A and B are shown apart, each in its own frame.
Chain A
Amino acid sequence: MIPLGHFLILSAILFAIGSAGVFMRRNLITILLSIEIMLNAVNLTFIAFGRHLGRVDGQIIVAFVMTVAAAEAAVGLAIIVALYRHRESLNPEAFTSLKW
């Protein structure tokens, strides 16, 4: 059988990849994709712990996380489309009008 720690370490690696993507990439769409990677890493943790404890609550929370991720993707992509229409760019450095 697979030790629980293996799933947690895999999930930690995926989460770190996602956070590195948010820090390093300069493309709004790729930043949203990195956020999806992080959400999936957390989902994997939920399901692993749910299996370990023998309860379905982890899977139900994952279903809710997927719903929220869908809503987040829809709103985020709508914002990206609106921003692209104004500046013709997907680089977050192009949107600094509110920067102090």
Chain B
Amino acid sequence: MSDLVLFYAFGAFAVLASALVIGQSNPMHSVLLLVASFGAISGLYVLLDAPFMAVIQIIVYAGAIMVLFLYVVMLLNAPREDAAEWDRAHPLRRPGMTRVGAVLALVLVLQLVWALSRTVDVRGAVGADAAAETVSSVRTIGRVMFSDYVFAFEATSILILVAMVGSILLARREGER
């Protein structure tokens, strides 16, 4: 029962923080709220018996990637969106494609919730048939990652190399050699 309470607390916090991320006009606040949202999601990972992923979520996502975002926000020093009246209007009353996008997102969530609430298979408790030890062990994760997924692992290292070269090339000033 306390699990369910924790789930609702973390879930409500994650949804609230994510909604505020897209409701802010200041990107700095958006990034900090997203860090809070990632913290709540890592709490959900703990509830799902995935403590390793919860730690990785905090260290890599909230720590490294979000600091990269913060760094660029501070570097560019362009805190506000351009149009002033753009911020004041309610999303659904804004003109044209923005309104269509907002309505489509609303339809998406209604559709998914409706479909999921009518599915019988997902009503059982999560992991009722599986022991928690099988998924929470870092040893198992490591063994599977370096045997079954070793090709994907190596391909990822090449991807990171390409991304590193690409971002250095893109962010370089023109005219320099």
Contact = CB atoms under 8 A, between A and B. Distances in A.
Interface of A: 1-10, 12-27, 29-30, 32-34, 36-37, 40, 43-44, 47-48, 50-57, 59-60, 62-64, 66-75, 77-82, 84-85, 89-91
Given A16-B108, A37-B37, A60-B145, A51 B135 contact: yes
Interface of B: 3-4, 7, 11, 14-15, 18-19, 21-22, 24, 27, 30-31, 34, 37-38, 41, 44-45, 47-50, 52-53, 56-57, 60-61, 64-65, 68-69, 72-73, 75-76, 78, 81-83, 86, 91, 94, 97-98, 100-102, 104-106, 108-109, 112-113, 116-117, 119, 122-131, 134-135, 137, 140-141, 144-145, 148-149, 152-153, 156, 159-160, 162-164, 166-168, 170-171, 173
A51 to B, nearest CB: 5
Nearest to A50: B135
The 6 A-B residue pairs with the shortest CB-CB distance in the complex, in nearest-first order: A23-B101, A54-B130, A1-B125, A21-B22, A20-B105, A71-B163
A36 B45 contact: no
A80 B3 CA distance: 42
A51 B50 contact: yes
